[in-house]
Amino acid sequence: MSPRVELLNTGSELLLGVVRDLHLSWLGKELFPLGLRITRQTTVPDGSIVREAVLESFSRAEVLIVTGGLGPTTDDITRELIAELLGLRLVPHRETLERIQDRCRRRGYLFQPRMERQSMVPEGSTVLTNLQGTAPGLYIPPIEGISWASPHLFLLPGPPRELQPMVREFVLPILQSLFANSDQNECRIYRVVGMGESMLESKIGFSLSQRGDLEVGYCARPNEVDFRLIAPRRILEEVEPLILQAVGDHLISQHDESMEEVVVSLLKRSEATLATAESCTGGLIANRLTDVPGASEVFLEGFVTYSNESKCELLGVDPDLIATHGAVSGEVVKAMAEGALRRSGAVYALATTGVAGPGGGTDNKPVGTIWLALAQQNKETQFWKEFIPTDRQTFKQLASQTALDHLRKRLLTSALPHD
């Protein structure tokens, strides 16, 4: 049985929405290979409520990770509250004080007397050196109280740039030594596009969930579902062929890759290049592609032709096509894709034009109408119509996902697309 691990985040800025919590997802991934999983997360504001939240976790957790509240200012009282709660004296830690003073000298900062608070540590705790900041982390082993026993307690700084190196260098080795015999399950995520979670469950998920040796889960996003399985490796190897058969070419990745990462990888493998011509998606396809490191090897250029004039001037679209069929039409999106192909010299080109809304729709072309095209050197251009009646941001996301997925499937079936 795996020990119960809880995460307590402190900081009013988290609850006010000023700062996003990045700890849960990162820590969850780091702990899982040790056979450890976070079973509960709690977030509380700065102040005395931290004591109440810690005591509540004592009744459940075998490991409690507390983030934040270790700084030098008056709202940073986690260290003091924990020491008081556990009946431990705060004692100076000379090495930490010297490290803080040296950091100030090297960076040209004036050492403030308040900073000395960060060198006071609960007696008997293990100091976890902070190489990225001033506040050290702390590990406090279980202590028996009158009516409770504390768990293995880790106090960590709030900023991710300080917390993450500390966890990898100190916290994970400590946990590994404490819980070396924890269950060693694996987690596999099958990223699927073009199938909703209900369809995915009906095809394969329900039958697998009836087994007692598998944990099945889903995480749905626009036109994309992560199908998650947790089990020992031998079980995962046994069921994987069934999953691959059920999802077919709807499977994007088994390695936690995004659609754009897969497309860039396939373009590289095919030694092919890409250009984009976007109207209603406003450059989102190009943005997603250029978020991938190394995209410059395969992505040549992107045209954001939002106006009719720019479609004609930049892509060479015939104005008569727009006058006759309208900007949102198969004829125009085909001309956009072929214009991007011609102007860039790329092997492939993707194009979009549509009505994102909330206004601008007509009876013939209501809000949510979009035309997409995929052009390829020495091949007939493919263009098609979709209807995505949703909010503007989701419309753009779904449209970009659909375009990239068509290119993905083309690349999978074209061994040498540039010949």
The pTM of the full predicted model, rounded to 2 decimals, is 0.73
| CB-based contact 376:348 (threshold 8 Å) | yes
Distances (CA, A) of 370 to 13, 181, 308: 41, 54, 16
Mean pLDDT of the chain: 92
Q: For 142-198, how does the pLDDT look when each residue is reduced to its tens digit (9 = 90+)? A: 988 656 789 999 999 999 999 999 999 999 999 999 987 656 788 899 999 999 899
The one-letter code for the residue type at 8 is: L
- Determine the Cα–Cα distance for residues 282 and 279; give it in Å rounded to an integer: 5
Q: For 375-384, how does the pLDDT look when each residue is reduced to its tens digit (9 = 90+)? A: 999 999 999 9
pLDDT exceeds cutoff 60 at 31 = yes
Q: Is the dihedral of CA 252, 253, 257, 263 positive or negative?
A: negative
Q: Where are the beta strands (DSSP E) in 246-319?
A: 251-253, 274-278, 299-304
pLDDT exceeds cutoff 70 at 417 = no
Nearest to 136 by CA among 96, 106, 171, 85: 96
pLDDT exceeds cutoff 70 at 418 = no
Average the pLDDT over 132-145 and give the result.
Answer: 90
pLDDT bin (cut points 50, 70, 90) of residue 127 is very high
pLDDT exceeds cutoff 50 at 131 = yes
pLDDT of 246 reads 95
The one-letter code for the residue type at 372 is: L
Q: For 258-269, how does the pLDDT look when each residue is reduced to its tens digit (9 = 90+)? A: 999 999 999 999
Pairing of strands 224-231, 186-193: antiparallel
Domains of the chain: 5-178 (3.40.980.10), 186-253 (3.30.70.2860), 259-413 (3.90.950.20)
